[in-house]
């Protein structure tokens, strides 16, 4: 078998048009490093929750020039086969290593297939690319980014017409089209693609500001809000500043060490605002500067994290706050969240008489919620993703979310209140919804498969001393590789991550709040119950 692996690696290297990638594989062959080659040739990258994503390394199981060439060719073939030949394809990229290279290679492939290619002028946020697909009437959009993944990763995110991510069966059809592409060296390339100017960015800024209508908040209240901000070494800073200026806010005070794009992400272990310690510099800056609210975006600015009075809010807390804010503004329609997100938003929507939906995980499903009678007006997922203006961007957007948070914070500040005060008010009205995670990162993906199998074969009958009902969500339509445990005031959903090598258990407990004096006691009880849930689920999963 080692001989077959070495022969396969040599054949791949011969077909790899990138000199550096080819040399990388040949060096492993010459060294006889079958262990590393086994990882590189374990199989091709697959389309997950957000397209292709993987480590920057040569071979079919990595992000490299050959993989990108074949991916672009496969996507192009799928577009031709589905009647979109000759249409516009928009291509964007972030500031990660090789992102610009992969974007330009893709542009050459789509141009050779007869598409009208529009390339973003420089590294820009993912939401700008998603906006551009609809704004320019494109048949597809490609964003070269790995979002919040570690520095050595990159990815290839695909949007089809109308600016939404692809869903089955298109993902499997595209995988098949990519598999049918011949050697990367033989993929036709041609120049002649267009490079967009700043008009598309200006239109995005205008559309976001128009959708959120900042004039509903008095100009003096907007100007008085103090915001601390970090781009987390990503590409969000300049666009966020444009949006805030256009909306009449003072410029946020920025974490200087993290403001400029830097693919090394030197100040954070993982460039993900969810990770422990990731917002420490932001929190310290907010404290020093007396900021009313602090906002962090992930590197491609499609996610948004919020810190208030030294406390980082959960995605579910921000999700509920923004839903409540939009409802109080009179925004009617469908409110949606992913099945792993908390339940408070649905309780709020029900109390206001508007429909809400729970969708499979991922914004590709969230943006498809709603109906003709009640179109989607808001969607969120607990992993810090929010669509506050889905008519502008049919995906999560950390820039429009940041503006919405600032508008809400400005309104509350004018009344002598904070985001935390509004959360307490919601808890008094609906109960204290406490959510959290048990998250296990693995090197060996079989550990995730084994843990899911253990849970399915012997699910717990009770959690927190309360009976729970078991449901395997793989049996629903569309099927989801997840398990749900649901009881009175307790809910757990367990699933493998779609973007990282993690097993995640999403935990929720609901604690009643009887009066103002009971809020501290309720929060203490909620924290204790969340800890107990983590312990119980860790035992059930064997992790």
Query: How far is C-alpha 450 from the chain's CA centre?
Result: 26
Residue 202 Cα distances to 91, 375, 410, angstroms: 17, 26, 25
Q: How far is Cα 32 from Cα 461, in angstroms, rounded to an integer?
A: 51
Q: Where are the alpha helices (DSSP H) in 231-372?
A: 237-246, 280-289, 315-328, 344-352, 363-366
Annotated active-site residue in 147, 341, 343, 356: 147
Q: What is the spatial distance between Cα 405 and Cα 4, in angstroms, rounded to a whole number?
A: 56
* Whether 147 is catalytic: yes
Label the pairing between strands 116-119 and 88-93. Answer: parallel
- Distance between CA atoms of 415 and 262, rounded to whole angstroms? 39
Give CA–CA dist 84/52, Å, rounded. 22
Residue with tokens 């957000």, as numbered in its chain: 50
In the numeric block, which tokens belong to residue 405?
């948070």
Q: ∠ at Cα 76 (184, 170), nearest 5°?
A: 110
Question: Which residues, including other chains, have CB under 8 Å from residue 345's CB and lie 6 or more apart?
Answer: 316, 319, 320, 323, 335, 337, 356, 380
Q: From CA 412, how far away is CA 182, in angstroms rounded?
A: 59
Nearest-angstrom CA–CA distance, 363 and 382: 11
* Phi and psi at residue 362, to the nearest 5°: 110, 145
Give the CA distances from residue 494 to residues 342, 451, 455, 485, in Å, rounded to whole numbers and listed in that order: 13, 10, 9, 9
* Distance separating alpha carbons of residues 51 and 155, to the nearest angstrom: 7
The answer to whether 413 and 293 are in contact (CB under 8 A) is: no
Query: Could you give the 3-state DSSP secondary structure of residue 411?
Result: helix
Distance CA 98, CA 205 (A): 27
Helix (H) or strand (E) holding 471: strand 466-472
Cβ atoms of 278 and 268 closer than 8 Å: yes
Give yes or no for a contact between 407 and 211, defined as CB atoms under 8 angstroms apart.
no
Which run of H or E residues covers position 452? helix 446-457
Catalytic residues: 147
């Amino acid at each position: 078998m080692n001989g077959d692996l070495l022969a396969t690696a040599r054949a791949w290297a011969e077909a790899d048009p990138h000199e550096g990638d080819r040399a990388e594989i040949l060096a492993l062959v010459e060294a006889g490093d079958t262990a590393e080659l086994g990882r590189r040739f374990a199989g091709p990258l697959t389309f997950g929750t957000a397209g292709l994503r993987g480590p920057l390394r040569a071979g079919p199981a990595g992000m490299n020039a050959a993989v990108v060439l074949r991916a672009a060719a496969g996507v192009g073939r799928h577009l031709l086969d589905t009647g979109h030949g000759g249409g516009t394809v928009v291509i964007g990229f972030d500031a990660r290593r090789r992102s610009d290279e992969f974007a330009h290679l893709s542009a050459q492939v789509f141009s050779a297939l007869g598409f009208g290619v529009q390339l973003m002028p420089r590294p820009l946020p993912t939401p700008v690319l998603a906006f551009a697909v609809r704004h320019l009437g494109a048949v597809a959009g490609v964003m070269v980014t790995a979002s919040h993944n570690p520095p050595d990763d990159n990815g290839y995110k695909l949007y089809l017409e109308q600016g939404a991510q692809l869903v089955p069966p298109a993902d499997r059809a595209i995988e098949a089209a990519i598999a049918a592409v011949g050697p990367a060296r033989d993929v036709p390339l041609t120049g002649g693609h267009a490079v967009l100017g700043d008009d598309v960015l200006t239109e995005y800024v205008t559309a976001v500001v128009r959708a959120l209508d900042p004039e509903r908040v008095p100009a003096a209240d907007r100007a008085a809000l103090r915001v601390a901000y970090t781009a987390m070494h990503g590409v969000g800073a300049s666009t966020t500043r444009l949006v805030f200026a256009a909306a009449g806010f003072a410029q946020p005070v920025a974490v200087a060490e993290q403001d400029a794009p830097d693919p090394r992400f030197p100040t954070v272990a993982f460039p993900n605002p969810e990770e422990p310690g990731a917002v420490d510099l932001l929190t310290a800056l907010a404290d020093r500067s007396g900021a009313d609210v602090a906002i962090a975006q992930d590197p491609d600015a499609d996610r948004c994290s919020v810190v208030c009075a030294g406390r980082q809010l959960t995605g579910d807390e921000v999700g509920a706050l923004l839903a409540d804010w939009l409802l109080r503004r009179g925004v009617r329609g469908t409110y949606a969240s992913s099945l792993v997100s908390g339940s408070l938003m649905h309780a709020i929507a029900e109390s206001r008489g508007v429909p809400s939906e729970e969708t499979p995980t991922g914004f590709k499903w969230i943006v498809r919620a709603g109906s003709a009678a009640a179109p989607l007006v808001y969607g969120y997922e607990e992993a810090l993703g929010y669509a506050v203006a889905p008519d502008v961007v049919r995906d999560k957007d950390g820039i429009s979310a940041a503006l919405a948070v600032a508008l809400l914070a400005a309104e509350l500040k004018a009344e002598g209140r904070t985001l935390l005060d509004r959360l307490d008010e919601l808890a008094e009205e609906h109960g204290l919804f406490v959510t959290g995670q048990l998250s296990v990162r693995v090197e060996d993906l079989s550990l995730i498969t084994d843990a899911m199998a253990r849970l399915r074969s012997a699910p717990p009958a009770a959690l927190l001393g309360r009976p729970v009902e078991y449901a395997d969500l793989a049996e629903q339509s569309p099927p989801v590789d997840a398990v749900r445990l649901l009881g009175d005031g307790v809910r757990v959903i367990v699933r493998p991550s779609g973007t990282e090598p993690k097993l995640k258990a999403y935990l929720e407990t609901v604690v009643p709040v009887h009066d103002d004096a009971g809020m501290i006691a309720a929060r203490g009880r909620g924290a204790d119950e969340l800890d107990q849930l983590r312990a119980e689920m860790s035992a059930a999963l064997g992790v």
